[in-house]
Amino acid sequence: MTKILDSLKLTILAGVVLTVVVILVAHAISGA
Amino acid sequence: MTELVTAEWWSFFFRWLHIIAGVMWIGHLWYFNFTQAPTMPKIPAELKPAIGKYILPEALFWFRWGAMATIVTGLIEAGFLKLYPSVIWLGIGAGTPRITFISFGMWLGLIMWANVWFIIWPNQKKNMGLVEVTPEQKAKAARIAGLTSRVNTMLSIPMLYCMASVHQYM
């Protein structure tokens, strides 16, 4: 994890991946 | 003039304050991560104290109080939007992604706010010499503050998606 956080580019990439995960989870649990 | 006293206007007013405070907070977060931290190794040693003694304390002041103002105005705005109590449990089963997305945004924001006030700021106080520590403790504090700041940079990306998505799911 610290290897990712030591790199600004990897931190941003991790943020984008996390965004995709949040979108999928939010749609799944909202019951829409 | 009478529209000033409507709940809709006050809701808009607190959203406006929330955005101003959020720009202040995340703007400084990104300044630390996109500008200051990558540039520090390139700054000549004799000039580095200018950053640590003058720019960093001032930037940290607006950073942490921007975070506080963002959370306070956001929690008030959530009341105006009648998001309680479903926003607390992520709007599970609410039947609309709107509440779930704003819930994720709120919780990510709260985690980031806690990181600022309970991890980054106490460790920056050690790093800046406001709290007396050994050189080893100072180096460790700077590392913890830096890594936590990076975590918040990572979390800011989905957090802003969730905040902006409110109008996507009206």
Q: Is the pLDDT of residue B31 over 70?
A: yes
Token pair of B128, please? Answer: 């800046």
Mean pLDDT of chain B: 94
Residue B42 CB neighbours (<10 A): 6
Residue B170: band (very low, low, confident or very high) from pLDDT cuts 50, 70, 90: low
Tell which residue, B48, B109, B81, B84, has the closest CA to residue B169. Answer: B81
Range of the domain at B12: 2-167
Closest residue by Cα to residue B110 from B159, B61, B146:
B159
pLDDT for the residue numbered B54: 94
Chain B positions touching A16 (Cβ under 8 A) are 157
Tens digits of residue pLDDT in B81-120 = 999 998 898 888 777 888 999 999 999 999 999 999 999 9
pLDDT at B164: 93
> Cβ contacts of residue B80 below 8 Å, gap of 6+?
B7, B10, B11, B14
Position B5 confidence tier, pLDDT thresholds 50, 70, 90: confident
Q: 3-class DSSP state for residue B96? A: coil
Candidates A6, A8, A27; nearest CB to B97 = A27
Q: Does A17 touch chain B (CB under 8 A)?
A: no
d(CA B29, CA B142): 15
Summarised one tens digit per residue, pLDDT across range A1-32 is 889 999 999 999 999 999 999 999 998 988 76
Collapsing DSSP to helix, strand or coil, B142 comes out as helix
Split into its structural domains, chain B has a count of 1
- What whole-number percentage of chain B has pLDDT above 70? 98
Put simply, the answer to whether B147 touches A26 (Cβ < 8 Å) is no
Cβ-Cβ contacts under 8 Å, B158 against chain A? 15, 18-19, 21-22
B4 band by pLDDT with thresholds 50, 70 and 90: confident
CA distances (Å), B31 to each of A31, B49, B87, B144, in order? 38, 18, 30, 18
